[in-house]
Structure 1
Amino acid sequence: MFIPFEARSLSDWNIYSSSSQETASILFDGQTSVEYLNIEKKSAYRFVVSQTIKQLEPGYYTLTAIIKNGGGQPKCYIYADAASGEMRLTSLPVSSEWLEVIVRGIEVREGECTIGLYAEANGGNWCSIHSFELVRSDRPYELLKGGDISELPRIEENGGIYRDRHEPKDGLEILKAYGHNIVRIRLYNDPGNPDFWPSNQLDERGYQNEERTLALAKRAKEQGFQIQFSFHYSDYWTNGLAQHKPHAWEGLAFDELKEALYQYTRDFMERLVKQGTAPEYVSLGNEIQGGMCYPDGSVDNWPQLAELLKAGCRAVKEISEQSKIVIHLDGATEDEKYEQFFGSCERYGVPYDIIGPSYYPFWTQASVQQLVDFCNKLVHRFDKDILLMETGYNWNAATGNGIRGQLENNGPEPYESTPEGQRDFLYSLMNGIKQVEQGRCLGVLYWDPVMIYVPGVGWQKDAPNVVDNTTLFDFDGNALPAMLAYKYNN
């Protein structure tokens, strides 16, 4: 069902606030409310502009709008409220060109839906909304929004303090308050063991080992988070270049290695389920575009890699059938890489539920729009949902140690390496996720949002922290403006 707005109520919403004017200007033929936030200076305004659509059939709807936005507002989002549950929001990305913005998963039960714009604007801020369309979609949608919290206990135990508006608080409570609804937790087999390399490159207190990981999963679940759980199948962090087998698996024949991976996965899943923390999503390995457990499970030997993935999948599903299997690769937008890898999964009968790309504008040198196009191609080719497993964006050009961090720059995205630039990138990314056809992109997990600057704490022994300038907290642990992208998108 397509609901166009009648001509008389299709006025453009041109919102402009000026500190030199007695009133803000709004052109709209609907319900409008404007008030000063700073009464004395008359320099900040709250706008609520809305219209109610009636006689709608029950079901799920998608709202799209064509917008321009000069940016700079503390808050600026379109919304849909059908009085049947959570109000649906999408923050307006900054754009000087007309851009489509989308709100998904609007559930109408009583035949009415109010759509509108909410903005808290400073003098000189502006945005324009050219048109709206409300379309029956019959598909529920939940935006997953969160990040990897594996470093949280280490930061806390080494003196790091998280703050919201300068008030110290539990880091997880802050994330929850800003709308995070999922956490990623990674597991290493035996990290920090001084007798084995590369395990001995990590802290001897065994952060991200089995016991600490179980405790963190329980803590997150008690806060109401969904869990994306990542088996690294290593004593050390893994990616395309580093896929070291756990020291306990070295020297095993391939059939023994496959059995060890299966049994390890099954045993730990049993422990997660037993304590009430069955993960909603499980990734087998981390950025495995080159394979896992080198050299046995390298992509140079796809039949063996397929057997390892099948063993891991079988172990997960035997214990927690509802947990969805994610296969995680780097390099979002690299079409050929994904065609080769997931085409091989098809060829060798590897079962999985979700494709999990990593997307960093710096590493991929790709824009959000290129990401949307890439995701649409994946959906058409493989008919799988997508979950962005990693993303990151500099909010400062240098780390707390004054060196260049993991990201040299922010790639082709136009937003600067500032707190506001990081926020505006996430506004754009959240909208881009919702643009993917049929809502098949489920959401995004931010990389190491909590690994804030703490003197002496780095990514491994005697190495600096190279991500504390991409976190969602500043060097003093204060929540950054980027948190608003989580709060005002759902």
Structure 2
Amino acid sequence: MLRMKKLLIFSLLSLAVNGLVACSDGEVYQAPEITDTKVLTIGSEYGNATSGWNVSGIPDGIYNLEFYTKSSQLNELPYLTASGKTTAIMPSVNTWSKNVIKGINVSDGTCHIELSNGGNIQIKGLQLVSSEKEFNMVKGGDISLLSYVEDNGGKYYAADGQEGDCLEILKQSGMNLVRLRLYNDPGNPDFYPSNTLPAGYQNQDDVLRLAKRAKDKGMDILLTFHYSDYWTNGEDQYKPHEWAELDFDALKTAVHDYTAEFLGKMSAQGTVPKYVALGNEIQAGLLYPDGACEDPIKMCALLNAGAKAVREILPESKIVIHSTFSEGVNETTHKWFFGLVRDYGVDYDVMGISYYPFWTNMSATGFRGWADRIIKQFDKDILVMETGYSWNQTLPDGSPGQLSHNGPYAEFSKLGQRDFIVDLSNQIKQVESGRVLGYVYWDPIFIEVEGLGWILGEKNYVSNTTLFDFGGKALPVLDAMKYNN
């Protein structure tokens, strides 16, 4: 029998005077409605509510706070805090925008609610909804090129202009996970395409060093095995040159042994990854041609070889299968691909997805709808493995970057980038099942450094989508990380 959620509902005026009617399971109580008080402009009537409100008489437990706002885009990001949990508020001038704070832990019968950087914000319809689940959003970024940038003179600065350690700046801004991508033999001059990448980076030694730095900062790790000497996606899945001539049984063994060996090294230095992704954007398979999805038996056998190694060496780590999302790789394709993975018995825990407004032409609201449908069909958690937003229309030389527009988000600006992450975070928290874990920003640290490109001899095509400006200074988007948890 379905059990109704317990609701604690109150009007804004009742909130301001500490009025709350508690209720028992299955019942809903509404504070008496008073004309013209359901919408309250915080800035004019209660200042910025620096002292906040204490809502008392609440049974101990975990709650979500839901509310609606209208606000303009502000230089200082407004956010609402409820007993230590926070959500930044999305600009919405003409329509009411729903906001959610998830996983509020009430342990003393009181929920303290406070608005910061309020400005001219209207709030209505606040309600506390009991929940059975804690929630701590994954807020990550891929730092795989950090050593490369630093070794070539790149420097990072906090928002106040003070030079600092990149990872410390990110940690203080709320980032709690780093993604590291591992190639088998990048930068080897004797083999293509490994010879198109810089030597000494994104290999085992470099990944181990970066993992140690991140773990020392208290950050979780997402490790991606590309199973290649080079970048992989739906189009490119080059076998490592050492595996090029192996027959299929030997290839399976190589995947297992290589995965197990490196995870053993990660474990030995105390940097066990929380998540391990088997391949990168493998919606068409991996290790072509053997693991192409045209032969799902072989594809899934290779994935299970990697999964077996993860379970043997790091049974506490979560296994991720990662697909992209674009107008060419649509929901039908996702259902087909993850259906193959399910039907052929691949052992994994989390569906990874690359979601960019540019390639999907989809807003964060649209992504939430997609996630609701996919989770219902496959009963898996989802992690946004990649996302990004262009805060400047061009690269420093005036040419377009990799993301030449922002889909339904028309604005090219630093505040536009910030507000996209606010929107994405808020929509993630509204997924019906609560099973979207969070997001990982793509190449947030690959700032502009003269002569540095992802491929040797080419320019940096993502320096206008990073979390730092062209000079390495932290951008306002980091407030969107900091004020969402």
| TM-score by shorter chain over 0.5 | yes
Confirm or deny that 1:231 pairs with 2:225: yes
CA displacement, residues 149-197 of structure 1 (integer Å, 9 cap, x when unaligned): 0011000000100001211100001000101000000100000000000
Contact 1:80 1:116 in 2 (8 A): yes
**Matched letter for residue 133 of structure 1:** Q
- What aligned pairs does 1:105-144 form with structure 2 within 5 A after superposition? 105-119=103-117, 121=119, 126-144=120-138
Instruction: Give the one of 156, 176, 179 matched to 1:181.
Output: 176
Unmatched 5+ residue regions in structure 1? Answer: 17-23, 27-31, 35-45, 82-86
RMSD between aligned alpha carbons? 1.4
Shift of residue 229 of structure 1?
A: 0.5
1:3 has 2:8 as partner: yes
Letter of the structure 1 residue corresponding to residue 7 of structure 2: F
Alpha-carbon distance, 1:400 to partner: 2.4
For each residue in 1:316-372, what CA deviation from the matched residue of structure 2 results, as whole angstroms up to 9, or x when unmatched? Answer: 110010100011110068211110011111110111100111010001111111100
| Contact 1:73–1:119 (CA under 8 A) maintained in structure 2 | no
TM superposition shift of 1:8? 4.9
SS of 2:215's equivalent in the other structure is: helix
Structure 2, unaligned stretches of length 5 or more? 1-5, 16-36
Find out whether 1:461 has 2:461 as its counterpart: no
Compared CA separation, residues 6 and 454, structure 1 to 2 (3 A)? closer
Report if the CA contact (8 A) 2:355-2:386 is conserved: yes
Report the Cα distance in structure 2 between the residues aligned to 1:47 and 1:9, rounded to whole angstroms: 15
Task: State the shift of 1:131 in Å.
Answer: 1.3
Aligned residue among 419, 430, 437 for 1:424: 419
Aligned counterparts of 1:152 and 1:169: Cα–Cα separation in 2: 14
**How far is the alpha carbon of 1:6 from its aligned partner?**
5.2
Query: What amino acid is the match of 1:365?
Result: N
CA distance in 2, matches of 1:267, 1:342: 28
For 1:444 and 1:180, the matched residues in 2 are separated by 10
Given that 2:12 and 2:40 are in contact with CA atoms closer than 8 Å, whether structure 1 keeps it comes out as no
Q: 1:317 aligns with which of 308, 311, 315?
A: 311
Given that 1:313 and 1:352 are in contact with CA atoms closer than 8 Å, whether structure 2 keeps it comes out as: yes
Matched to 2:204, the amino acid is: E
Q: Does the 8 A contact of 2:222 with 2:276 survive in 1?
A: yes
Specify the SS of the correspondent of 1:454.
Answer: coil
Partners of 1:13 and 1:187 in 2: CA distance: 52
Determine if contact 2:356/2:387 at 8 Å carries over to the other structure: yes
Contact 1:326 1:353 in 2 (8 A): yes
CA shift, 1:250, in A, is 0.3
Corresponding residue number in structure 1 for 2:30: none
Match of residue 65 from structure 2 = 63
Q: How far apart are 1:5 and its partner, in Å? A: 0.8
- Matched ranges for 1:439-458 at <5 A: 439-458=434-453
**In 1, Cα distance between the equivalents of 2:386 and 2:72?**
28
Shift of 1:15: 3.5
1:113-148: CA deviations, max 9, x gaps?
Answer: 122322254xxxx22111101011011111010100
Q: Which of 164, 178, 181 lines up with 1:169 in the alignment?
A: 164
Please tell me whether residue 194 in structure 1 is matched to residue 192 in structure 2.
no
How far the C-alpha of 1:399 sits from its partner, in A, is 1.1
Change (3 A) 1:117 1:13: farther
TM-score, normalised to structure 1, is 0.91
Distance 1:132 1:270, change over 3 A: same
Aligned AA for 2:402? Answer: Q
Is the 1:58–1:108 Cα contact (8 Å) retained in structure 2? yes
- Which of 78, 81, 85 does residue 80 from structure 2 map onto? 78
Match of 1:292 among 286, 289, 292: 286
Equivalent residue number for residue 44 of structure 2: 25
Which residue of the other structure, out of 416, 429, 433, is the alignment partner of 2:428?
Answer: 433
**Contact 1:12 1:128 survives alignment (8 Å):** no
- Could you tell me whether the CA contact under 8 Å between 2:79 and 2:118 is conserved in 1? no
Q: Secondary structure at the match of 2:406?
A: coil
For the Cα contact (< 8 Å) 1:48–1:119, is it kept in 2?
no
* Contact 1:278–1:323 (8 Å) recurs in 2: yes
More divergent stretch after superposition (170-179 vs 405-414): 405-414
Q: 2:86 aligns with which of 85, 89, 92?
A: 89
2:61 alignment partner AA = G
Pick from 359, 367, 370: which aligns with 1:371? 367
Pairing 1:479–2:481 present? no
Q: Distance in 2 between matches of 1:472 and 1:15?
A: 32
Counterpart Cα distance in 2 of 1:229 and 1:328: 12
**TM-score, normalised via structure 2 length:** 0.91
For residues 412 and 424 of structure 1, the distance between their equivalents in structure 2, rounded to whole angstroms, comes to 13
| Residues 332, 371 of structure 1: 8 Å contact kept | no
Find out whether 1:342 has 2:338 as its counterpart. Answer: yes
Secondary structure of 1:227's partner? strand
Contact map agreement 1:423 1:484 (CA 8 A) in 2: yes
Mapped contact 2:372–2:433 kept (Cα < 8 A)? no
In structure 1, the partner of 2:376 is 380
Matches of 1:162 and 1:330, distance apart in 2: 30
SS of the aligned residue for 2:272 comes to coil
Indicate which of 260, 265, 273 corresponds to 1:271. Answer: 265
Question: Hey, what does 2:32 align to over in structure 1?
Answer: none
Classify the secondary structure of the residue corresponding to 1:48.
Answer: coil
CA distance in 2, matches of 1:277, 1:259: 25
Q: Quick one: structure 1 residues 228 and 273, their matched pair in 2 at CA, closer, same or farther if it must change by over 3 Å?
A: same
> C-alpha separation between the residues in 2 aligned to 1:306 and 1:6?
53
Distance 1:474 1:368, change over 3 A: same
Secondary structure of 1:131's counterpart equals strand
